[in-house]
Amino acid sequence: MNPEHETFAAGDNTVPQTVKALLGIRELILSGELPPGARISELAVVERIGVSRTPVRAALARLQEEGLLEPIASRGYAVRAFSEVEIRDAIEVRGTLEGLAARFAAERGVTAAETARLHECMDQIDAILASSDRTIDSFTQYVTANDRFHRLLIEVAHSDVLCRQIERAVSLPFASPSGFVMAQATLPAARDVLIIAQAQHCSVVEAIAQREGARAQALMQEHARIAHKNLQLALASQTAMDLVPGSNLIRRRIHASAQ
């Protein structure tokens, strides 16, 4: 669910309109204007967003691929809801692929310039965490830097095949590295979780530099499980969940009362 990563076929003269439709529909879903179960009317989208039917159809197909929409029997699409299990599975898939990226980077080697970019990004995260500022803005800065670290990791793996698969995995709802970070802005334990995540960043980069492929892979897979912790923290607080884009799409488990 990261619009900055959108890619489309070259030479397609409907690309700008498709992007407009894609972002417009996604925003309607994540804002809650189109709730889970809502049927998507192609004509209504055309009128609401101001694009023709062809790019709207392409956008709807793409959103089905991402998992935000599901086909319905009478043709067309409806907005999906997501269980906690589905979100955890998506996070696990992303972590497995990022672990492979870390292994490739370690085994194939990284250049001095690539290492410098990774360290520069980690220094930026250190500076954010060292600040006593715990505003929404500071968490937004962390999200930006954290996403950059994960993109750099994919780049230094030097695998176009793996890069494409990770982009697909990250587009799965709530699977991105920073999917639930914003929810922590209201939580006392937030800083501790982010500090642990940063320590794991450092360990992964060290393993890559030492050419320890298996270790780098294991560390990165473990790092992805921080997102599970973030999800757990978010689900414990409605105030926190309100800060997560699209949180209305999550089917929260109802725990039975103790007898």
The pLDDT score that the predictor gives to residue 54 is 93
Residue 108: beta bridge partners?
Answer: none
pLDDT for the residue 15: 56
Per-residue pLDDT at 253: 64
Please tell me the predicted confidence (pLDDT) of residue 255.
44
Q: Which amino acid is at 58?
A: A
Q: Indicate yes or no: pTM above 0.85.
A: no
* pLDDT for the residue 238: 81
Q: Looking at domain 3-80, which CATH architecture does it have?
A: Orthogonal Bundle (1.10)
Q: Please identify, in words, the CATH class of the domain defined by 83-251.
A: mainly alpha
**HSE-CB of 216 using CA atoms within 13 angstroms:** 26
Longest CA–CA separation in the chain, Å: 63
Annotated domain spans of the chain: 3-80, 83-251
Low-confidence ranges of the chain (pLDDT < 50): 1-14, 255-259
Dist. CA 127–CA 133, nearest whole Å:
11
Kindly report, residue by residue over 166-183, the tens digit of the pLDDT: 988 887 778 888 888 887
| Residue 15 CB contacts under 8 Å (≥ 6 apart), including other chains | 8, 9
Which pLDDT score, from 0 to 100, does residue 58 have?
Answer: 94
Residue corresponding to tokens 């996403």:
147
Q: What is the model's pLDDT at position 225? A: 87
pLDDT value for 148: 97
Q: Is 257 helix (H, G, I), strand (E, B) or coil?
A: coil
Q: Distance (Å, rounded) from C-alpha 175 to C-alpha 96?
A: 12
